[in-house]
Chains A and B, each alone.
Chain A
């Protein structure tokens, strides 16, 4: 059994990593949890993770946010070579795009029609904003109260409960990968890693 240490940005990306690794539970378990506290600290620590990943498997998941492109970000953060056990994945633009990509699943969670969901979530500049927009259509008052921020906060007060709950119980990565090339690449990278180790 391979123990993979994980680095995540927030409650949502943690839940996503757990699902991705959980799909290989016959071979993989999650080791240490490193809370990156947003991409700033992940960026600051990436060289350390890379050093450790010379020997130990590390899965780092971060958002592309406003950077140009994923390969550009990798080159910028890791100017040297990438260690053999480092899986450094970047969600385009945010991990939320991967969730929106399960159009049926997320529509069912909100209780709205899947026709409302974007067909190309990776191209969204503000995936969280899209989630708020869709949640406003939901009949569930509880979900609206949880997910949509009341003021200027970047997420609603119960977002970190409501979205991970969806990831754990409603999200289907196999459906989602069809609409998100970025998720598809991440899932393939994990598969390839397991095939070669």
Chain B
């Protein structure tokens, strides 16, 4: 299954978004245009659908409340709306659609509640809320049907699918200096603070198989590295790598000594190999060498082919988007303005197909459009 269409109203930077989505979605735009917020709309649906530790109230609460989510440019209507179409492929004749409208109580605790919630498959409407029961008992409006396994029997497939959305952005410092990061865990461990604990939880067979694959890739990317394995030391999980060194015993390193790039690459490969739902990657190019970055689109294609997983990638990397195998409609361009950010597929850019047929790479078409005009005068007054 994949997300074939996304529609948002008043979501963070976006007053409206209405775009088709392909198997890979590359998100490009200037700083603060809302790339992460676009990914967050999908994470939000995941958080709502999660049966434990999730749900509407939690998902909104984790994001600082309705007022922190609602687009600053929002006027009327002022509610927040997230709609997705889900299908087996772009040719699926019976696509699912899930629509959620969220409003805030006008007084009292100003809790978020559903304004509407609809599910259909093809032409068939499976859920239409608020219904009579909601009107009879207002308290019901504080929970979505998506999060309630007792209610979502008819559309549990989409709840299960949304639940599998995975966002992974391993921040190397979280692993290197765990003592510096306290506070409660975030849903889905997005920044990899619990990466080692997650490794510990995966069954040894599966873990070793994945680490073997990562090891063979790492040996190409980091030629000095000769092995990567999972070890437990005093009950604590660790990654251990062996580096070729002129002193044979000197080459053992634990994850706290790995380079940022090595950790990022391990996290990136792990998230591609594990999991089965759509994968959201935030600037996967960070800390990685050119030669690796240019392989990312191909790896994501491979992941789609072998594991039927869709991917969403926010990026500032021209190298990543220069792969000529990327279709223009796989790239979403974010264009900020005073009325919120607009999202358009790169194929809608004027002259895009002319540029493409003249031999321009997708990066050469899209990046000139994502450069803020004022950047020419960039300075920092010292």
Contacts and interface: CB of A to CB of B under 8 A. Distances in A.
A39 B364 CA distance: 13
A158 B361 contact: no
A153 B24 contact: no
Contacts of B326: 153, 157
Counting chain A residues whose Cβ lies within 8 A of the other chain, the interface size class is 20 to 34
Given A38-B361, A65-B359, A152-B353, A160 B325 contact: yes
Interface string B306-342: 0000000000000000111111110000000000000
Contacts of A160: 298, 323-325
Contacts of B323: 160
Contacts of A123: none
What is the predominant secondary structure among interface residues of chain A facing chain B? loop
A151 B328 contact: yes
Contacts of B324: 10, 153-155, 159-160
A142 B306 CA distance: 9
B140 interface: no
B156 interface: no
Interface centre among B301, B324, B357 (most CB of A within 10 A): B324
B301 A146 contact: yes
Contacts, number: 62
Nearest to B22: A150
Nearest to A161: B298
A149 B327 contact: yes
A173 to B, nearest CB: 24
B290 A35 contact: yes
Nearest to A158: B301
Interface string B290-311: 1100100110011001000000
A154 B322 contact: no
A169 to B, nearest CB: 16
Contact of B24 (A10, A11, A65, A157): A157
A145 interface: yes
Interface string A1-20: 00000000011000000000
B138 to A, nearest CB: 48
A51 interface: no
Nearest to B90: A150
A146 B290 CA distance: 22
B239 interface: no
Contacts of B242: none
B312 to A, nearest CB: 15
B356 A154 contact: yes
A158 B359 contact: no
What is the predominant secondary structure among interface residues of chain B facing chain A? helix
A129 B291 CA distance: 27
B109 to A, nearest CB: 49
B297 A157 contact: yes
Contact of A158 (B291, B294, B298): B298
Interface centre among A40, A65, A161 (most CB of B within 10 A): A161
Nearest to A39: B359
A113 interface: no
A158 B325 contact: yes
Contacts of A33: 291
B381 to A, nearest CB: 34
A158 B305 contact: yes
A35 to B, nearest CB: 7
A151 B290 CA distance: 27
Interface in A151-197: 151-161
Interface centre among B24, B302, B362 (most CB of A within 10 A): B302
Interface string A122-153: 00000000000000000000100110011111
Contacts of B359: 38-40, 65, 154
A157 B290 contact: no
A154 B353 CA distance: 11
Interface centre among A150, A151, A157 (most CB of B within 10 A): A157
A116 interface: no
A38 B365 CA distance: 14
Given A153-B324, A155-B325, 20 more contacts: A10-B324, A11-B294, A33-B291, A35-B290, A35-B294, A37-B322, A37-B361, A40-B359, A146-B305, A149-B327, A151-B328, A153-B325, A153-B326, A153-B327, A153-B362, A157-B301, A158-B302, A158-B305, A160-B298, A161-B301
Interface of B: 24, 290-291, 294, 297-298, 301-302, 305, 322-329, 347, 353, 356-357, 359, 361-362
18 contacts: A33-B291, A37-B361, A40-B359, A65-B359, A151-B327, A152-B327, A152-B328, A152-B357, A153-B324, A153-B325, A153-B328, A154-B324, A155-B325, A156-B325, A157-B297, A157-B298, A158-B302, A160-B298
